Amino acid sequence: MARGIRLLVLDVLKPHQPLVTELALGLSELEGVEGVNITLVEIDKETENIKVTIVGDNLNYDEIVRTIEEFGGVVHSIDMVAAGRKIIEEEETPQDKLEE
């Protein structure tokens, strides 16, 4: 039975080095992690703003943050989290249509 945090989407700021490939591999080795996606959102002279999506079973948020920090990154925010037996897909609401 699945338990705990199953999905995390994090807004992260990191230096150009190490590469996002290295960060993805480092995160993928953590206990409970089944998959890691990293998307480059913005880049400047010294840093990269990335979106880190992690799926798994009973993800350890503190361990994930510690790993990101070991790679020189800083978590700016938790943009999405899912917990429980099932990850629920977001549905569009009338409020979402007003924002467009």
Residue 100 pLDDT > 70: no
Residue 96, domain member (yes or no): no
Mean pLDDT across 36-52: 97
Residue 36, domain member (yes or no): yes
The enclosing domain of 20 has a CATH number of: 3.30.70.1340
φ, ψ for residue 57, nearest 5 deg: -130, 125
Domain tally for the chain?
1
Residue 42 belongs to domain spanning: 5-83
What percent of the chain is modeled with pLDDT above 90?
80
At 82, is the pLDDT very low, low, confident or very high (cuts 50, 70, 90)? very high
Mean pLDDT across 35-49: 96
Residue 88, domain member (yes or no): no
HSE of 3, CA atoms in CB hemisphere, 13 A: 1
